[in-house]
Structure 1
Amino acid sequence: MALFMDPLDIFLMILGATLLSTAYTVWLTTRPIKEEDPPSEQAIARSEVTTRRSATECPATIKALSFYYMGVGAFALATGIWGLATWPLPSSYNIVLMDPWALFGVAALIVGLALYFAGSLNAASIPLAFLGIIPIVYGVDIIKYHLTTEPSLAAALYILTGLAPLLSPLVYMTNGRSMGRYMGYVVMVILILAGLIAYIIGVGATFEHTAGWVKWTPWYG
Protein backbone atom coordinates (compact mmCIF):
# COMPACT_ATOMS: atom_id res chain seq x y z
CA MET A 1 0.00 0.00 0.00
CA ALA A 2 1.40 3.38 -0.98
CA LEU A 3 2.34 5.72 1.83
CA PHE A 4 0.05 8.39 0.38
CA MET A 5 -3.09 6.24 0.42
CA ASP A 6 -4.28 7.50 3.80
CA PRO A 7 -4.94 11.14 2.72
CA LEU A 8 -7.07 9.87 -0.16
CA ASP A 9 -9.77 9.06 2.40
CA ILE A 10 -10.11 12.66 3.50
CA PHE A 11 -9.76 13.86 -0.10
CA LEU A 12 -12.84 11.84 -1.04
CA MET A 13 -14.83 13.11 1.91
CA ILE A 14 -13.81 16.71 1.17
CA LEU A 15 -14.95 16.10 -2.40
CA GLY A 16 -18.26 14.76 -1.12
CA ALA A 17 -18.76 17.75 1.16
CA THR A 18 -17.98 20.14 -1.68
CA LEU A 19 -20.30 18.43 -4.16
CA LEU A 20 -23.17 18.54 -1.68
CA SER A 21 -22.37 22.17 -0.88
CA THR A 22 -22.36 22.92 -4.59
CA ALA A 23 -25.88 21.55 -4.90
CA TYR A 24 -26.88 24.18 -2.33
CA THR A 25 -24.88 26.81 -4.21
CA VAL A 26 -26.72 26.01 -7.43
CA TRP A 27 -30.05 26.34 -5.64
CA LEU A 28 -28.99 29.62 -4.05
CA THR A 29 -27.79 31.18 -7.29
CA THR A 30 -30.67 30.03 -9.48
CA ARG A 31 -33.80 30.20 -7.32
CA PRO A 32 -36.36 32.46 -9.00
CA ILE A 33 -38.07 35.51 -7.56
CA LYS A 34 -41.19 37.28 -8.70
CA GLU A 35 -40.77 40.53 -10.53
CA GLU A 36 -42.11 43.63 -8.83
CA ASP A 37 -43.87 44.86 -11.98
CA PRO A 38 -46.49 42.78 -13.77
CA PRO A 39 -44.87 40.80 -16.57
CA SER A 40 -45.52 41.80 -20.13
CA GLU A 41 -47.32 39.53 -22.56
CA GLN A 42 -44.04 38.97 -24.36
CA ALA A 43 -42.35 37.91 -21.12
CA ILE A 44 -45.20 35.53 -20.34
CA ALA A 45 -44.88 34.00 -23.79
CA ARG A 46 -41.20 33.39 -23.16
CA SER A 47 -41.88 31.99 -19.65
CA GLU A 48 -39.78 34.75 -18.13
CA VAL A 49 -42.13 35.66 -15.30
CA THR A 50 -39.27 35.11 -12.87
CA THR A 51 -35.70 36.29 -12.85
CA ARG A 52 -32.60 35.02 -11.15
CA ARG A 53 -31.56 36.39 -7.84
CA SER A 54 -28.75 38.87 -8.11
CA ALA A 55 -25.73 38.93 -5.88
CA THR A 56 -27.12 41.90 -3.96
CA GLU A 57 -30.01 39.85 -2.55
CA CYS A 58 -27.89 37.42 -0.55
CA PRO A 59 -24.33 38.83 -0.61
CA ALA A 60 -23.29 37.53 2.79
CA THR A 61 -24.22 33.93 2.03
CA ILE A 62 -22.63 33.96 -1.41
CA LYS A 63 -19.44 35.58 -0.12
CA ALA A 64 -19.21 33.04 2.71
CA LEU A 65 -19.52 30.24 0.18
CA SER A 66 -16.82 31.82 -1.96
CA PHE A 67 -14.34 31.57 0.93
CA TYR A 68 -15.18 27.89 1.34
CA TYR A 69 -14.50 27.16 -2.32
CA MET A 70 -11.28 29.17 -2.34
CA GLY A 71 -10.03 27.38 0.77
CA VAL A 72 -10.86 23.91 -0.54
CA GLY A 73 -9.53 24.83 -3.97
CA ALA A 74 -6.19 26.02 -2.63
CA PHE A 75 -5.82 22.85 -0.55
CA ALA A 76 -6.76 20.52 -3.40
CA LEU A 77 -4.57 22.30 -5.92
CA ALA A 78 -1.54 22.33 -3.61
CA THR A 79 -1.85 18.65 -2.67
CA GLY A 80 -2.68 17.74 -6.25
CA ILE A 81 0.44 19.44 -7.59
CA TRP A 82 2.45 17.69 -4.89
CA GLY A 83 1.03 14.36 -6.05
CA LEU A 84 1.80 15.13 -9.69
CA ALA A 85 5.38 16.10 -8.84
CA THR A 86 6.23 13.23 -6.48
CA TRP A 87 4.12 10.41 -8.01
CA PRO A 88 3.28 8.78 -4.65
CA LEU A 89 0.79 6.22 -5.98
CA PRO A 90 1.68 3.09 -7.95
CA SER A 91 1.33 2.76 -11.72
CA SER A 92 -1.71 4.36 -13.35
CA TYR A 93 -3.41 5.11 -10.04
CA ASN A 94 -1.42 8.30 -9.69
CA ILE A 95 -2.83 9.48 -13.02
CA VAL A 96 -6.49 8.74 -12.35
CA LEU A 97 -6.43 9.89 -8.71
CA MET A 98 -4.01 12.81 -8.48
CA ASP A 99 -4.58 14.51 -11.85
CA PRO A 100 -8.34 14.97 -11.28
CA TRP A 101 -7.71 16.09 -7.69
CA ALA A 102 -5.54 18.96 -8.90
CA LEU A 103 -8.20 19.78 -11.51
CA PHE A 104 -10.83 19.80 -8.76
CA GLY A 105 -8.73 22.40 -6.96
CA VAL A 106 -8.67 24.59 -10.06
CA ALA A 107 -12.44 24.27 -10.53
CA ALA A 108 -13.14 25.07 -6.87
CA LEU A 109 -10.96 28.18 -7.09
CA ILE A 110 -12.82 29.31 -10.22
CA VAL A 111 -16.15 28.89 -8.43
CA GLY A 112 -14.92 30.69 -5.32
CA LEU A 113 -13.48 33.64 -7.21
CA ALA A 114 -16.58 33.92 -9.42
CA LEU A 115 -18.87 33.97 -6.39
CA TYR A 116 -16.69 36.52 -4.60
CA PHE A 117 -16.23 38.99 -7.45
CA ALA A 118 -19.37 38.44 -9.56
CA GLY A 119 -21.81 36.89 -7.11
CA SER A 120 -22.89 34.38 -9.75
CA LEU A 121 -21.61 31.55 -11.93
CA ASN A 122 -23.00 32.85 -15.22
CA ALA A 123 -19.69 33.52 -16.97
CA ALA A 124 -17.75 30.87 -15.04
CA SER A 125 -20.12 28.15 -16.22
CA ILE A 126 -18.52 28.20 -19.68
CA PRO A 127 -14.94 27.27 -18.69
CA LEU A 128 -16.32 24.93 -16.02
CA ALA A 129 -18.24 23.08 -18.73
CA PHE A 130 -15.05 22.42 -20.67
CA LEU A 131 -13.26 21.32 -17.49
CA GLY A 132 -16.15 18.95 -16.82
CA ILE A 133 -15.20 16.86 -19.84
CA ILE A 134 -11.94 15.81 -18.19
CA PRO A 135 -13.29 13.78 -15.22
CA ILE A 136 -15.74 12.08 -17.59
CA VAL A 137 -12.77 10.89 -19.65
CA TYR A 138 -11.07 9.62 -16.50
CA GLY A 139 -14.26 7.83 -15.49
CA VAL A 140 -14.37 5.97 -18.79
CA ASP A 141 -10.67 5.22 -18.35
CA ILE A 142 -11.32 3.66 -14.93
CA ILE A 143 -14.01 1.41 -16.39
CA LYS A 144 -11.86 0.39 -19.35
CA TYR A 145 -8.86 -0.66 -17.24
CA HIS A 146 -10.82 -1.80 -14.15
CA LEU A 147 -8.94 0.52 -11.81
CA THR A 148 -9.66 0.84 -8.06
CA THR A 149 -11.38 -1.85 -5.99
CA GLU A 150 -14.81 -0.64 -7.14
CA PRO A 151 -14.37 0.57 -10.72
CA SER A 152 -18.08 0.99 -11.45
CA LEU A 153 -18.70 3.14 -8.39
CA ALA A 154 -15.52 5.15 -8.92
CA ALA A 155 -16.37 5.70 -12.59
CA ALA A 156 -19.87 6.84 -11.64
CA LEU A 157 -18.35 9.38 -9.25
CA TYR A 158 -16.05 10.77 -11.94
CA ILE A 159 -18.71 10.87 -14.64
CA LEU A 160 -21.33 12.52 -12.43
CA THR A 161 -18.78 15.02 -11.11
CA GLY A 162 -17.92 15.99 -14.69
CA LEU A 163 -21.50 15.97 -15.93
CA ALA A 164 -22.64 18.64 -13.45
CA PRO A 165 -20.31 21.42 -14.71
CA LEU A 166 -20.78 20.23 -18.28
CA LEU A 167 -24.49 21.03 -17.98
CA SER A 168 -24.00 24.25 -16.02
CA PRO A 169 -24.24 26.63 -19.02
CA LEU A 170 -27.79 25.35 -19.57
CA VAL A 171 -28.52 26.47 -16.02
CA TYR A 172 -26.81 29.85 -15.95
CA MET A 173 -26.92 31.09 -19.54
CA THR A 174 -30.67 30.81 -20.17
CA ASN A 175 -31.68 34.15 -18.59
CA GLY A 176 -34.09 32.73 -16.04
CA ARG A 177 -36.18 30.69 -18.46
CA SER A 178 -37.98 27.54 -17.40
CA MET A 179 -35.41 25.27 -19.02
CA GLY A 180 -32.66 26.83 -16.93
CA ARG A 181 -34.58 26.25 -13.71
CA TYR A 182 -35.35 22.64 -14.62
CA MET A 183 -31.72 22.02 -15.57
CA GLY A 184 -30.75 23.52 -12.23
CA TYR A 185 -32.76 20.80 -10.50
CA VAL A 186 -31.12 18.16 -12.69
CA VAL A 187 -27.65 19.45 -11.84
CA MET A 188 -28.50 19.53 -8.13
CA VAL A 189 -29.61 15.88 -8.25
CA ILE A 190 -26.39 14.94 -10.08
CA LEU A 191 -24.28 16.77 -7.49
CA ILE A 192 -26.10 15.13 -4.59
CA LEU A 193 -25.64 11.66 -6.09
CA ALA A 194 -21.95 12.32 -6.75
CA GLY A 195 -21.46 13.71 -3.25
CA LEU A 196 -23.06 10.67 -1.64
CA ILE A 197 -20.91 8.32 -3.74
CA ALA A 198 -17.78 10.24 -2.73
CA TYR A 199 -18.73 9.89 0.92
CA ILE A 200 -19.51 6.18 0.53
CA ILE A 201 -16.13 5.48 -1.07
CA GLY A 202 -14.28 7.78 1.32
CA VAL A 203 -15.83 6.35 4.49
CA GLY A 204 -15.20 2.79 3.30
CA ALA A 205 -11.61 3.63 2.42
CA THR A 206 -11.07 5.19 5.85
CA PHE A 207 -11.74 1.93 7.67
CA GLU A 208 -9.88 -0.13 5.06
CA HIS A 209 -6.77 2.03 5.11
CA THR A 210 -6.78 2.36 8.89
CA ALA A 211 -6.80 -1.41 9.23
CA GLY A 212 -4.01 -1.70 6.67
CA TRP A 213 -1.75 0.73 8.51
CA VAL A 214 -2.61 -0.21 12.09
CA LYS A 215 0.77 -1.90 12.71
CA TRP A 216 2.88 0.51 10.68
CA THR A 217 5.40 2.77 12.43
CA PRO A 218 7.57 5.51 10.89
CA TRP A 219 11.30 4.96 10.51
CA TYR A 220 12.02 7.35 13.38
CA GLY A 221 9.61 5.58 15.75
Structure 2
Amino acid sequence: MSFIDNLGIELDALILVTAVVFYTAVWSWYQGRDNRPAVLAQLRGGSWMLGALGGFLLLLGLWGEFTWPLPAAYNLLFYDPTVLIGLVLLGFYGAIRFELPTHYVGVFAFVSGWGVIYYGLRAYQLGLTQEPFDMMGMFVAFGAMAVLALPVTLYLDRYVLDRLPLGPKGASAPSYPMAWNLLIGLFLLVTVVAGVASILMGFNTVWSHLASPP
Protein backbone atom coordinates (compact mmCIF):
# COMPACT_ATOMS: atom_id res chain seq x y z
CA MET A 1 0.00 0.00 0.00
CA SER A 2 1.28 3.47 -0.88
CA PHE A 3 2.22 5.88 1.90
CA ILE A 4 -0.58 8.28 2.84
CA ASP A 5 0.53 11.40 4.70
CA ASN A 6 -2.25 12.34 7.12
CA LEU A 7 -0.07 13.18 10.11
CA GLY A 8 -0.62 16.90 9.59
CA ILE A 9 -4.40 16.75 9.93
CA GLU A 10 -4.06 14.44 12.94
CA LEU A 11 -1.85 16.98 14.71
CA ASP A 12 -4.27 19.76 13.72
CA ALA A 13 -7.07 17.82 15.41
CA LEU A 14 -5.00 17.34 18.56
CA ILE A 15 -4.30 21.08 18.71
CA LEU A 16 -8.04 21.72 18.47
CA VAL A 17 -8.68 19.18 21.24
CA THR A 18 -6.40 21.03 23.65
CA ALA A 19 -7.97 24.37 22.70
CA VAL A 20 -11.54 23.15 23.26
CA VAL A 21 -10.67 21.34 26.51
CA PHE A 22 -8.90 24.41 27.91
CA TYR A 23 -11.62 26.84 26.82
CA THR A 24 -14.44 24.65 28.17
CA ALA A 25 -12.65 23.96 31.46
CA VAL A 26 -11.80 27.61 32.09
CA TRP A 27 -15.35 28.80 31.44
CA SER A 28 -16.82 26.00 33.57
CA TRP A 29 -14.41 26.78 36.40
CA TYR A 30 -15.14 30.51 36.08
CA GLN A 31 -18.89 29.96 36.39
CA GLY A 32 -18.33 28.26 39.73
CA ARG A 33 -19.85 25.13 41.21
CA ASP A 34 -22.78 27.06 42.69
CA ASN A 35 -24.04 28.04 39.22
CA ARG A 36 -24.82 24.54 38.00
CA PRO A 37 -27.02 25.48 34.98
CA ALA A 38 -24.28 27.73 33.59
CA VAL A 39 -21.63 25.05 34.09
CA LEU A 40 -23.82 22.47 32.38
CA ALA A 41 -24.32 24.81 29.44
CA GLN A 42 -20.56 25.21 29.06
CA LEU A 43 -19.98 21.46 29.34
CA ARG A 44 -22.66 20.68 26.76
CA GLY A 45 -21.22 23.19 24.32
CA GLY A 46 -17.68 21.90 24.71
CA SER A 47 -18.71 18.25 24.63
CA TRP A 48 -20.26 18.64 21.18
CA MET A 49 -16.96 19.83 19.75
CA LEU A 50 -14.96 17.23 21.66
CA GLY A 51 -17.34 14.53 20.46
CA ALA A 52 -16.88 15.63 16.85
CA LEU A 53 -13.10 15.68 17.20
CA GLY A 54 -13.19 12.35 19.03
CA GLY A 55 -15.23 10.76 16.27
CA PHE A 56 -12.80 12.02 13.65
CA LEU A 57 -9.75 10.80 15.59
CA LEU A 58 -11.35 7.42 16.27
CA LEU A 59 -12.16 6.90 12.58
CA LEU A 60 -8.67 8.03 11.58
CA GLY A 61 -7.08 5.74 14.16
CA LEU A 62 -9.17 2.71 13.20
CA TRP A 63 -8.42 3.35 9.53
CA GLY A 64 -4.72 3.36 10.36
CA GLU A 65 -5.03 0.18 12.43
CA PHE A 66 -6.78 -1.72 9.63
CA THR A 67 -4.91 -0.39 6.59
CA TRP A 68 -1.43 -0.01 8.18
CA PRO A 69 -0.27 2.94 6.01
CA LEU A 70 2.91 3.73 7.99
CA PRO A 71 6.04 1.63 8.40
CA ALA A 72 5.88 -0.87 11.31
CA ALA A 73 6.60 0.96 14.60
CA TYR A 74 5.33 4.32 13.32
CA ASN A 75 1.88 2.88 12.69
CA LEU A 76 1.71 1.68 16.30
CA LEU A 77 3.14 4.94 17.62
CA PHE A 78 0.68 7.27 15.91
CA TYR A 79 -2.53 5.26 15.53
CA ASP A 80 -2.80 3.33 18.81
CA PRO A 81 -2.94 6.51 20.94
CA THR A 82 -5.23 8.14 18.36
CA VAL A 83 -7.82 5.41 18.90
CA LEU A 84 -7.60 5.79 22.68
CA ILE A 85 -7.94 9.58 22.55
CA GLY A 86 -10.92 9.29 20.23
CA LEU A 87 -12.65 6.85 22.59
CA VAL A 88 -12.05 9.11 25.61
CA LEU A 89 -13.47 12.16 23.85
CA LEU A 90 -16.53 10.29 22.57
CA GLY A 91 -17.07 8.82 26.02
CA PHE A 92 -17.04 12.28 27.61
CA TYR A 93 -19.48 13.57 25.01
CA GLY A 94 -21.81 10.64 25.71
CA ALA A 95 -21.61 11.15 29.47
CA ILE A 96 -22.56 14.83 29.19
CA ARG A 97 -25.16 14.26 26.48
CA PHE A 98 -26.99 11.47 28.32
CA GLU A 99 -26.39 12.83 31.84
CA LEU A 100 -24.25 9.90 32.96
CA PRO A 101 -21.41 9.95 35.52
CA THR A 102 -18.24 11.26 33.91
CA HIS A 103 -15.81 9.57 36.30
CA TYR A 104 -16.12 6.28 34.38
CA VAL A 105 -14.65 8.11 31.41
CA GLY A 106 -12.04 9.46 33.80
CA VAL A 107 -11.01 5.93 34.79
CA PHE A 108 -10.71 4.92 31.12
CA ALA A 109 -8.67 8.07 30.44
CA PHE A 110 -6.46 7.43 33.49
CA VAL A 111 -5.49 3.95 32.31
CA SER A 112 -5.11 5.03 28.67
CA GLY A 113 -2.98 8.00 29.68
CA TRP A 114 -0.27 5.84 31.21
CA GLY A 115 -0.19 3.84 27.98
CA VAL A 116 0.25 6.99 25.90
CA ILE A 117 3.09 8.14 28.18
CA TYR A 118 4.80 4.77 27.75
CA TYR A 119 4.51 5.01 23.95
CA GLY A 120 6.15 8.43 24.01
CA LEU A 121 9.00 7.47 26.33
CA ARG A 122 9.76 4.25 24.44
CA ALA A 123 9.68 6.04 21.08
CA TYR A 124 12.12 8.64 22.42
CA GLN A 125 14.41 5.88 23.67
CA LEU A 126 14.36 4.30 20.20
CA GLY A 127 14.93 7.66 18.47
CA LEU A 128 11.81 7.48 16.32
CA THR A 129 10.82 10.60 14.28
CA GLN A 130 13.10 13.49 13.36
CA GLU A 131 11.98 15.50 16.41
CA PRO A 132 12.13 12.86 19.17
CA PHE A 133 12.08 15.33 22.08
CA ASP A 134 9.07 17.28 20.76
CA MET A 135 7.30 14.02 20.04
CA MET A 136 8.00 12.67 23.53
CA GLY A 137 6.82 15.93 25.10
CA MET A 138 3.55 15.77 23.18
CA PHE A 139 2.87 12.15 24.13
CA VAL A 140 3.76 12.69 27.79
CA ALA A 141 1.63 15.84 27.98
CA PHE A 142 -1.43 14.19 26.41
CA GLY A 143 -0.93 11.17 28.64
CA ALA A 144 -0.74 13.42 31.71
CA MET A 145 -3.92 15.18 30.57
CA ALA A 146 -5.68 11.83 30.45
CA VAL A 147 -4.35 10.79 33.86
CA LEU A 148 -5.48 14.07 35.44
CA ALA A 149 -8.91 13.69 33.84
CA LEU A 150 -9.80 11.22 36.60
CA PRO A 151 -9.69 13.70 39.52
CA VAL A 152 -11.30 16.36 37.31
CA THR A 153 -14.25 14.09 36.47
CA LEU A 154 -14.54 13.00 40.10
CA TYR A 155 -14.80 16.67 41.08
CA LEU A 156 -17.41 17.27 38.38
CA ASP A 157 -19.56 14.34 39.46
CA ARG A 158 -19.28 14.93 43.20
CA TYR A 159 -19.39 18.69 43.58
CA VAL A 160 -20.92 20.08 40.37
CA LEU A 161 -23.12 17.57 38.55
CA ASP A 162 -24.23 15.59 41.63
CA ARG A 163 -23.68 12.25 39.89
CA LEU A 164 -21.50 10.58 42.52
CA PRO A 165 -23.78 9.41 45.36
CA LEU A 166 -21.59 9.80 48.42
CA GLY A 167 -23.38 10.96 51.54
CA PRO A 168 -26.62 12.98 51.44
CA LYS A 169 -28.09 13.96 48.09
CA GLY A 170 -26.91 17.31 46.81
CA ALA A 171 -23.37 18.40 46.12
CA SER A 172 -21.61 19.48 49.29
CA ALA A 173 -18.69 21.88 49.59
CA PRO A 174 -15.31 20.25 48.86
CA SER A 175 -13.52 19.12 52.01
CA TYR A 176 -10.15 20.25 50.64
CA PRO A 177 -10.90 23.07 48.17
CA MET A 178 -7.25 24.08 47.75
CA ALA A 179 -6.24 20.54 46.79
CA TRP A 180 -9.02 20.33 44.21
CA ASN A 181 -8.12 23.75 42.80
CA LEU A 182 -4.48 22.69 42.51
CA LEU A 183 -5.46 19.52 40.64
CA ILE A 184 -7.72 21.41 38.25
CA GLY A 185 -5.08 24.11 37.77
CA LEU A 186 -2.48 21.42 37.04
CA PHE A 187 -4.84 19.86 34.50
CA LEU A 188 -5.20 23.23 32.74
CA LEU A 189 -1.44 23.76 32.77
CA VAL A 190 -0.78 20.32 31.28
CA THR A 191 -3.43 21.02 28.64
CA VAL A 192 -1.53 24.16 27.60
CA VAL A 193 1.73 22.20 27.46
CA ALA A 194 0.08 19.53 25.31
CA GLY A 195 -1.23 22.21 22.97
CA VAL A 196 2.17 23.89 22.63
CA ALA A 197 3.86 20.53 22.02
CA SER A 198 1.26 19.71 19.35
CA ILE A 199 1.82 23.07 17.67
CA LEU A 200 5.59 22.50 17.60
CA MET A 201 5.16 19.01 16.19
CA GLY A 202 2.57 20.23 13.71
CA PHE A 203 4.73 23.14 12.55
CA ASN A 204 7.76 20.92 11.98
CA THR A 205 5.68 18.21 10.32
CA VAL A 206 3.87 20.49 7.89
CA TRP A 207 7.08 22.42 7.15
CA SER A 208 9.03 19.29 6.20
CA HIS A 209 6.19 17.34 4.58
CA LEU A 210 5.18 20.22 2.32
CA ALA A 211 8.81 20.55 1.22
CA SER A 212 9.06 16.87 0.29
CA PRO A 213 5.63 15.27 -0.15
CA PRO A 214 5.47 11.49 -0.69
TM-score, normalised to structure 1, is 0.79
Amino acid corresponding to residue 76 of structure 1 in structure 2 = L
Alpha-carbon distance in 1 for matches of 2:21, 2:194: 11
Alpha-carbon distance in 2 for matches of 1:197, 1:208: 17
Q: Which residue number corresponds to residue 204 of structure 2?
A: 204
Q: Which residue number corresponds to residue 25 of structure 1?
A: 24
Could you list the per-position Cα deviations for residues 120-172 of structure 1 after superposition, in whole angstroms to 9, with x for gaps in the alignment? 74443222211211111101111121111111110111011011121233334
Q: What does residue range 121-136 of structure 1 map to in structure 2 within 5 Å? A: 121-136=102-117
- Secondary structure of 2:25's counterpart equals helix
- The answer to whether the 8 A contact 1:30-1:52 is kept is no
Amino acid corresponding to residue 133 of structure 1 in structure 2 = W
Larger radius of gyration: 1
Q: Which stretch has the larger CA shift, 196-205 or 59-68?
A: 59-68
Alpha-carbon distance in 1 for matches of 2:7, 2:34: 37
Q: Which residue number corresponds to residue 159 of structure 1?
A: 140
Higher relative contact order (CA 8 A, sep 6+): 1
Alpha-carbon distance in 2 for matches of 1:91, 1:18: 27
Amino acid corresponding to residue 143 of structure 2 in structure 1 = G
Could you list the per-position Cα deviations for residues 37-63 of structure 1 after superposition, in whole angstroms to 9, with x for gaps in the alignment? xxxxxxxxxxxxxx4653x22444322
Alpha-carbon distance in 2 for matches of 1:29, 1:128: 20
- Candidates 47, 62, 86, aligned match of 1:81: 62
The alignment covers a number of residue pairs equal to 194
- The answer to whether the 8 A contact 1:77-1:105 is kept is yes
- The answer to whether the 8 A contact 1:29-1:120 is kept is no
TM-score, normalised to structure 2, is 0.81
- The answer to whether the 8 A contact 1:29-1:52 is kept is no
- The answer to whether the 8 A contact 1:65-1:115 is kept is no
Confirm or deny that 1:108 pairs with 2:89.
yes
Q: Which residue number corresponds to residue 98 of structure 2?
A: 117
Alpha-carbon distance in 1 for matches of 2:34, 2:196: 28
- Secondary structure of 1:132's counterpart equals helix
Q: Which residue number corresponds to residue 48 of structure 1?
A: none
1:58–1:184: structure 2 CA closer, same or farther, 3 Å change rule?
closer
How far is the alpha carbon of 1:204 from its aligned partner? 2.0
How far is the alpha carbon of 1:188 from its aligned partner? 0.4
Q: What does residue range 141-152 of structure 1 map to in structure 2 within 5 Å? A: 141-152=122-133
Amino acid corresponding to residue 66 of structure 1 in structure 2 = S
- Candidates 120, 123, 131, aligned match of 1:139: 120
Alpha-carbon distance in 2 for matches of 1:52, 1:94: 46
Higher-helix-fraction structure: 2
- Secondary structure of 2:129's counterpart equals coil
Amino acid corresponding to residue 154 of structure 1 in structure 2 = M
Amino acid corresponding to residue 206 of structure 2 in structure 1 = T
1:126–1:133: structure 2 CA closer, same or farther, 3 Å change rule?
same
- The answer to whether the 8 A contact 2:103-2:154 is kept is yes
How far is the alpha carbon of 1:31 from its aligned partner? 4.2
Alpha-carbon distance in 2 for matches of 1:186, 1:64: 23
